[in-house]
Homo-oligomer: A and B are copies of this chain.
Amino acid sequence: MTRTIVESATKTVIIGFDEPFCVIGERINPTGRKLLAAELEAGNYSTIERDALAQVAAGANILDINAGVVYNSNPNPNETEPPLMRSIVELVQGLVDVPLCIDSSVPDALEAGLEAANGRPLLNSVTGEEERLEAILPLVKKYNVPVVAISNDDTGISEDPDVRFAVAKRIVERAADFGIPAHDIVVDPLVMPIGAMATAGQQVFSLVRRLRDELGVNTTCGASNISFGLPNRHGINNAFLPMAMGAGMTSAIMNPVALPISQKKIAEKKEAIEAAGIILPESMEDEAFVALFGMGSTKPLAGSEMQAIRAANLLTDNDPHGAAWIAANKPAGEAGGRAGRRRRRG
């Protein structure tokens, strides 16, 4: 039975065929987020702290740490990423106790993260590209860590799932040459947007089954890619994750935090409410407003990705006695009643 062991100083996470699905939180990543990059350049780590705490509270089993910044003062990531990776790793493992996933395209940043991380982090990632194999596999061996293997190579990302399977197989074989066992390789078969490729779902489901049956490896994916470009992405993601789990996928890199509500949406809702003749109190906290008006909450919602995963854990017999499901889902009436009474005034 394939088991990929990932550890922090105090916590062990097993990615495996008979384990609950492993959720790797993707939020700590400044790539393409100019505001966050500017904060980090100014030494402000408050967004990172919030993202770390919120993802663990939502149920992330592992946190991905990506330090992909472009600073105004220095546009060279080979110089800026390694020290930033070290800082973020140290910060995050001081805040939360889950294992980390060290994620970079810069090999020196990967090594900086591996040096700074406690326990046995997951490395993200190697590909089938020759240069990448030569750079990353020695790191995997040296630090004795598991690694995410993305199934593209020097020819790019193939639309043919057989080619992507062959790339994954070659990475597993090359890793074996370095003495790295298959159970330390977590293959990402690459999820295409279903809006661009109608067979994208079926490709993933059949690739995951083959990777599991023929290579005996664990699998992961950037789950939200599946819904790129389509309306109601959560609705698609919420069905995709259980289906991928049913096919045997054992982890995903994703946002575990339930439907974040924007200030704009809250303002729009207040406008609609007042237009309906409802009078709101002069001051009302966003959290109370959002809870009362059913716009979401910091807890997993009906329809959230984490809820879909918890239900699929139950349905694949990876939630002994349904304990995790029951703990996450108190009967609605009970919770609502209590909340109502607690909110009563005077």
Q: Which residues of B contact A301 (CB under 8 A)?
A: 302-303
Cβ-neighbour of A322 out of B194, B242, B304, B343 (below 8 A): B194
Q: Which residues of B contact A288 (CB under 8 A)?
A: 276
Q: Which residues of B contact A320 (CB under 8 A)?
A: 198
Cα–Cα distance between A294 and B242 once the two chains are bound (Å): 25
Cβ-neighbour of A230 out of B293, B294, B325 (below 8 A): B325
Q: Which residues of B contact A242 (CB under 8 A)?
A: 239-240, 242-243, 246
In this complex, which of A205, A268, A302 has the most chain B Cβ atoms within 10 angstroms of its Cβ? A302
Cβ-neighbour of A201 out of B234, B276, B310, B314 (below 8 A): B314
Cβ-neighbour of A303 out of B231, B280, B303 (below 8 A): B303
Cα–Cα distance between A316 and B206 once the two chains are bound (Å): 11
Q: Which residues of B contact A133 (CB under 8 A)?
A: none
Q: Which residues of B contact A333 (CB under 8 A)?
A: 268
A58 to chain B, nearest CB (A): 15
Q: For the complex, is A307 an interface residue (Cβ under 8 Å from B)?
A: yes
Residues 314-346 of A, flagged 1 when their CB comes within 8 A of B and 0 if not, give 111100111001100111110011011001110
Say whether A322 contacts B292, CB under 8 Å.
Answer: no
Q: For the complex, is A166 an interface residue (Cβ under 8 Å from B)?
A: no
Say whether A314 contacts B281, CB under 8 Å.
Answer: no
Residue of B nearest to A283 (CB): B277
Q: For the complex, is A273 an interface residue (Cβ under 8 Å from B)?
A: yes
Q: Which residues of B contact A271 (CB under 8 A)?
A: 340
Q: For the complex, is A76 an interface residue (Cβ under 8 Å from B)?
A: no
Q: For the complex, is A136 an interface residue (Cβ under 8 Å from B)?
A: no
Cα–Cα distance between A311 and B280 once the two chains are bound (Å): 37
A239-B280 contact, Cβ under 8 Å, with A268-B337, A294-B295, A317-B202: no
Extra A-B contacts (20), CB below 8 Å, given A268-B336, A278-B292, A302-B302: A199-B317, A201-B314, A201-B316, A231-B325, A231-B332, A234-B302, A235-B310, A238-B303, A239-B308, A239-B315, A240-B315, A243-B243, A269-B336, A272-B292, A272-B336, A275-B340, A276-B292, A277-B281, A303-B304, A303-B307
Can you pick out 22 interface pairs between chain A and chain B where the beta carbons lie within 8 Å of each other? Answer: A194-B322, A198-B320, A202-B316, A230-B325, A230-B326, A230-B329, A231-B325, A232-B332, A236-B325, A238-B307, A238-B308, A243-B246, A243-B312, A269-B336, A272-B292, A273-B292, A276-B288, A276-B292, A277-B280, A277-B345, A279-B279, A294-B294
